[in-house]
Amino acid sequence: MRELVREHRTDPAQLVQPLFVVENPGQAGPIASMPGIERYTVESAVREARTLDALGLGSVLLFGIPKTKDARGSKNFDPDGVVQQTAREIKSALPHMIVIADLCNCEYTDHGHCGILNERGDVDNDATVEILARTALTYARAGVDVVAPSDMMDGRVGAIREALDGEDFEEIAIMAYSAKYASAFYGPFREAAGSTPQFGDRRTYQMDPSNVREALREMTLDVQEGADILMVKPALAYLDVVRAARDRFDLPIAVYNVSGEYSMIKAAALNGWIDEERAVHEMLVSFARAGANIVITYFAKEYAARSR
């Protein structure tokens, strides 16, 4: 009876599995702070995509880790960059799989910030937006279905949409990290992607965790600029923001169940302090209950395997 009258469910088809892909094969392997998650080569990422597909997971989110970095993040918009290569190979092997490419500079810059720096050492918003639009085109040409700008630069959604439409990529969707907070929950990701800032922090362009109305303003701007999907990141500590977004906007809402949230549950479960399977289910259904249509989570593979 409980299952018959259940109000909210989490279906594996709603879940997106992030994949870290390295250009240098020597960097592939397990990530210490994220038990069960690893960095892949292009070839092993395709094999993992096949496994995910067999489990009923239809979407992956790609993060690239280049061999070399520079101040402009030049490897980000290299047509033969690691994300571009991986997208081509996954779409060749699994044409029906939705390939989403995270669009940012932090993994590609030698200083670790999400934008290009000016002479004062501050992030140059407009110069960064130009790089993002240029990179988005290389992703589209590689066969990516969705580009997901995560940098929080002003005006980037409109610039990306204009660039894509200008080359007849109107069908490429934009999943905007519209409300990305300056959070303490990103630590394990920064180890995984090698994207820790070399100085300062990201509070000048990521959001204050105390603000909700600001998040709604940011989302409104992204809707006006042509975003197809709005995202709230992190997820667990921001369910009120997800609900506010669901009540305000008639677009799909995504949440990112980030690395710190993943690692907390994994650590507690490995110590025998919580029941991992029940905790993960409870957490994922809370995202759906708050109004999320799409859940990006490192638990996607395990959850889908248990759901079969």
The domain limits of the chain are: 12-307
- Rounded CA separation 114/50 (Å): 31
111 in Cβ contact with 157 (< 8 Å): no
40-58 per-position pLDDT tens digit: 999 999 999 999 999 999 9
pTM of the full predicted structure? 0.93
101-160 per-position pLDDT tens digit: 999 887 888 776 777 787 787 878 888 899 999 999 999 999 999 999 988 889 999 999
Give the per-residue pLDDT at 192.
Answer: 79
228-237 per-position pLDDT tens digit: 999 999 999 9
251-260 per-position pLDDT tens digit: 999 999 999 9
292, amino acid identity: A
239 pLDDT band, cuts 50/70/90, is very high
100 in Cβ contact with 231 (< 8 Å): no
Burial zone of 5 (CB within 10 Å; 0-12 exposed, 13-18 middle, 19+ buried): exposed
For the segment 57-78, the average pLDDT, to the nearest whole number, is 88
Please state whether beta strands 29-30 and 38-40 pair in parallel, antiparallel, or not at all (unpaired).
antiparallel
Give the per-residue pLDDT at 116.
Answer: 78
Q: Which CATH number fits domain 12-307: 3.30.830.10, 3.20.20.70, 3.40.50.720, 3.90.180.10?
A: 3.20.20.70
As annotated, the active-site residues are 180, 233
198 pLDDT band, cuts 50/70/90, is low
For the segment 52-67, the average pLDDT, to the nearest whole number, is 95
Burial zone of 117 (CB within 10 Å; 0-12 exposed, 13-18 middle, 19+ buried): middle
278, amino acid identity: R
Give the tokens for residue 72.
């402009």
Give the per-residue pLDDT at 203.
Answer: 64
Give the per-residue pLDDT at 33.
Answer: 94
Give the per-residue pLDDT at 189.
Answer: 83
Give the per-residue pLDDT at 197.
Answer: 61
Burial zone of 92 (CB within 10 Å; 0-12 exposed, 13-18 middle, 19+ buried): exposed
Share of the chain above pLDDT 70, in %: 96
